[in-house]
Chain A
Amino acid sequence: MSNQFYILRVIAIDHPIKDATTVTLEVPEKIRDLFNYYPGQHLIIKFKINEKEVRRSYSLNSSPFNEEALQVTVKRVQGGLVSNYIGDHLKEGDEVDVMTPRGRFYADIKKYAYKTYFLFAAGSGITPIISILKSVLLASPNSAVNLFYGNRNQDTIIFKKELDDLFEEYSDRLLVVNTLSDPNVWSAWKQWNGRKGRIDSEAVNWFITNHPPIAQSTEYYICGPGAMNISVRNTLLGLQIPKKLIHIEQFVGSIEESNDSINPIDNALLSVTLNGAAHQLSIPKGKTVLQVLKEAKVNPPYSCESGVCGTCIAQVIEGKAGMKSCMALEEQEINQGLVLTCQAFPTTKTLNVKFN
């Protein structure tokens, strides 16, 4: 996976709700192939704000199956540097630095498949989910989608209009259940008659029990805050849904207990194979493998730096590393020696890792 940035032009700025900005990016013809993607994947975008370089990953909400330009949608975070920069300053015609689409949370949609997709989203977690939803409807004509979508109130439902339009067109294959944790009650004209509450265990049980799949081959995609992801996942596992059918994208950091019991070795020797070159570095106390590589300016792949996105995955060849947190890897993958370098501390005197 290349870590090169490409310059893309902003060709439209829209606001699907007051506090969210949809950025449409144009991909020049000659690099279009590099920007092919699976629905659910994200882009890493680099900004220079106040002279400081910052990177963020944003899930694509566009679908690769309808030839629309790349689109990401960013909701304002109170005090958030980048989300507010995008909301206040980014405009049509601006150029941004973007890495090619990536991410392990995606749906591989087959034309002849006969599947039912259960999608769970909360808040801005809808972005990769709507990409999967549109792609299934467009590219897998026999498959169906059941979406369970949680928001605070009527005004915060991103893509409400788009989902309504899709339902109109695909009512035989699409089911959307909205649930609001704090619906507006003051205004009669948009009185909420739908479901209330968060997407918690009880709600997931209700959703699954009352919306049995038609196509019996199923997949489950979850994207929302950590607490919701864990709760949905555990509820699905409790219903005896096989683990391999459940896919999770973590949006806002990990809430899993961070593992503080690691005993890193001070000044361990790190050998790295990266972009075809070998490097030998020392890892000072308290630094992660990724931090050392960044400081050495050897251009390591990374994005979220919180153990979520999976961009910085490497294979341990020799030695051992402990991770503070790792939402992006399955237990089995950890056993096979994969590590998230942004979370990894050496626990042996020498550590040899390789990036693919």
Chain B
Amino acid sequence: MNSKRMPILPVEAYTSVDWFEQEQQKIFGNTWQFAGLVEDIQDAGDYITTQCGHQNIVIVKGRDQRLRAFHNLCRHRGTQLLRAVGKKQKALTCPYHDWTYDLNGQLISVPEKNTEFPDLDLDQICLHKASVDIWRGILWVHPDPNADPITKWFDGCWEKLGPHNPKRLIEYPDTYYEKIINANWKIVAENYIDVYHLAHLHSNTLQMYNHAKAEYGFVGDHYMFWEPLSSEYKDNIDGLIPTKRIQEMTDEYIGAYVPWLFPNLGLSEGEGSWNIFHAIPLAPDKTKVIVRTKLEPMSNWEFTKQQMKSNISWRGIMGGKTKYGNEPDTNSDDPMDWNDFMEEDVYVCEQQQKSLKNPLFGVTRTAIKGESTVRTFQEIVQKWLDS
């Protein structure tokens, strides 16, 4: 019996299959889940699928431009109905026996109906419904067709987010990032909301922000965070900013807005980009992270020019050395030499997961303020598992 705590949740919460299963049911199958960005479904008949715990959900756009969500399960014998993504479907057909549903989920055709199912009333059969909505340019789904409105789930959060209008910004395919991290999803989340580490692990990668002036806390189950730019960065922003400045990020609002929306979506709304950070639990010790980035619309030339300008100014003003004073080297074996805050985070998450198996592992103390966020997050997870 292991009674070690992290410090609220037990170590098993990060290692055991049983915990993982419970979280799939009680958290991921029971909350609004990130399903994509609004532009992922363009036209009537386009669809995407997403996993909510053990339930796969398909979102399809109807001819009335409204999204519908269904459980991805043929009503005939329960086979998965649709594969990952699709375009311009007129109807939804199961590959197994070609049972076909319209875009409202209504069964409209069954092969050999007259001989094989003479008394089947098609009108009575509809795909199981789920909930779908759009909030902050993001598609959200919930397996429960009668879920509370998404605005209630995020009540009070909008006011704490940046002035960005994500719908206006453009995703550049080159900015897509995907990585499997060998750590529990909660370790990834806790790292994201750990305020204490910012000035230390990222001393030379996130030094453009003034961590001492960060404002943070929870709104409902969601973590909200804002910090201002450091004065060196702010005073020289036109030269230093690596991309075009987001139009809405006027001096009044500028800073980094970095919330963690429970349970597994981070946002990073900055002066030059708007990002989603989606942590998908694959196993107790495996999490897939997908980062998608949207930028102010600009030409390739503008993009390249600004990056070059930023690179040159950066060395002069912000210094170019890594945490341990080395020259950045992406070919180095040590991720701490790469000068990339994301890789620094991946490194510590994986190291922490590894240590959980060490008989000497333990958490002595956590920081009063800077790690209070981690404790609150663990209490929230516990609350959902107890419910």
Is B311 engaged at the interface, CB distance under 8 Å to the other chain?
no
Q: Among the interface residues B66, B102, B152, which one has the most CB atoms of the partner chain A within 10 A?
A: B66
Q: How far is the CB of A238 from chain B (nearest CB, A)?
A: 8
Whether B74 sits at the interface, judged by CB under 8 Å, is no
Are the CB atoms of A240 and B149 closer together than 8 Å? no
Determine how close the nearest CB of chain A comes to the CB of B47; give it in whole angstroms: 14
Contact in complex: B151, A216 (CB < 8 Å): no
Closest to B44 in A: A209
Say yes or no for A79: interface residue by CB 8 A criterion.
Answer: no
CB atoms of A209 and B65 under 8 A apart: yes
Determine if B54 is an interface residue (Cβ-Cβ < 8 Å).
no
Contact of A214 with B64 in the complex, beta carbons under 8 Å: no
Cβ contact within 8 Å between A216 and B149: no
- 1/0 per position for A222-245, CB-CB distance to B under 8 A? 000000000000001001111000
Check B63 for interface membership: any CB of A closer than 8 A: yes
B132 touches A216 (CB 8 A): yes
Q: Which residues of A contact B151 (CB under 8 A)?
A: 112, 114, 142, 215
Q: Is A139 located at the chain interface by the 8 A CB criterion?
A: no
Nearest B residue to A110, CB-CB:
B149
Q: Are A216 and B102 in contact (CB under 8 A)?
A: no
B64 contact from A112, A113, A142, A240, Cβ within 8 A: A240
Instruction: Confirm or deny: A284 has a beta carbon within 8 angstroms of a beta carbon on chain B.
Output: no
Closest to B139 in A: A216
Given contacts A112-B151, A114-B151, contact A240 B63 (CB under 8 A): yes
What residues on B are CB-neighbors of A208 within 8 Å?
A: 64-65
Set of chain A residues within 8 Å of B193, measured between Cβ atoms: none
Asked if B296 CB lies within 8 Å of chain A CBs, one says: no
Asked whether B214 is an interface residue with its Cβ less than 8 Å from the other chain, the reply is: no
B104 CB → nearest A CB, Å: 5
A205: nearest residue on chain B (CB-CB)? B63
Measured CB to CB, the closest approach of chain A to B229, in angstroms, equals: 27
Is the Cβ of A240 less than 8 Å from the Cβ of B133? no
Type the 1/0 row for B104-134, where 1 means its CB is closer than 8 Å to any CB of A: 1000000000000000000000000000111
Q: Are A114 and B66 within 8 A (Cβ)?
A: no
Is there contact, CB below 8 Å, between B66 and A216? Answer: yes
A218 and B66 contacting across the interface, CB-CB below 8 Å: yes
Cα–Cα, bound, A208→B62 (Å)? 11
What A residues does B133 contact at CB under 8 A?
A: 114, 215-217
Complexed CA–CA distance, A236 and B65 (Å): 11
Cα–Cα distance between A216 and B131 once the two chains are bound (Å): 9
Residues B55-100 near A (CB distance < 8 A): 62-67
Is B103 at the interface (CB under 8 A from chain A)? Answer: yes
Chain A nearest CB, measured from B124 CB (Å) = 16
Q: Are A113 and B66 in contact (CB under 8 A)?
A: no
Question: Counting CB contacts under 8 A, is A212 at the interface?
Answer: yes
Bound complex: CA A216 to CA B62 (Å): 11
CB closest chain-A residue, reference B59: A216
Q: What is the distance, in angstroms, from A31's C-beta to the closest C-beta of chain B?
A: 36
Among the interface residues A209, A215, A216, A241, which one has the most CB atoms of the partner chain B within 10 A? A216
* Residue B150 interfacial (CB < 8 Å): yes
Closest to B167 in A: A214
Complex: A209 Cα to B64 Cα, angstroms: 7
Closest Cβ of chain A to B41, distance in Å, is 10
Instruction: Give the complex CA separation of A142 and B104 in angstroms.
Output: 25
Q: Which residue of A lies closest to B104 (CB)?
A: A240
Most chain A Cβ neighbours within 10 Å, of B64, B66, B133: B64
A217-B133, A240-B102 known; A212+B65 contact, CB < 8 A: yes
B163 to chain A, nearest CB (A): 12
- A337 on the interface (CB 8 Å rule)? no
- 0 or 1 for each of B218-232: is its CB under 8 Å from A? (1 = yes): 000000000000000
**Given A112-B149, A112-B151, A208-B64, A240-B103 contact (CB < 8 Å):** yes
Interchain CB contact under 8 A, B64 and A216 = no
Chain A nearest CB from B62 CB (Å) reads: 5
Residues from chain B with a CB closer than 8 A to the CB of A240 are 62-64, 102-104
Are the C-beta atoms of B134 and A215 separated by less than 8 Å?
yes
- The 5 lowest CB-CB distance pairs between A and B, nearest first, are A212-B65, A114-B149, A239-B64, A142-B151, A114-B151
Can you list 26 residue pairs at the A/B interface with Cβ under 8 Å? A112-B149, A113-B149, A114-B149, A114-B152, A208-B65, A209-B65, A211-B65, A212-B66, A213-B65, A213-B66, A214-B134, A215-B151, A216-B66, A216-B133, A216-B134, A217-B149, A236-B64, A239-B62, A239-B63, A240-B63, A240-B64, A240-B103, A240-B104, A241-B62, A241-B64, A242-B104
Name A's B-contacting residues (CB within 8 A): 112-114, 142, 208-209, 211-218, 236, 239-242
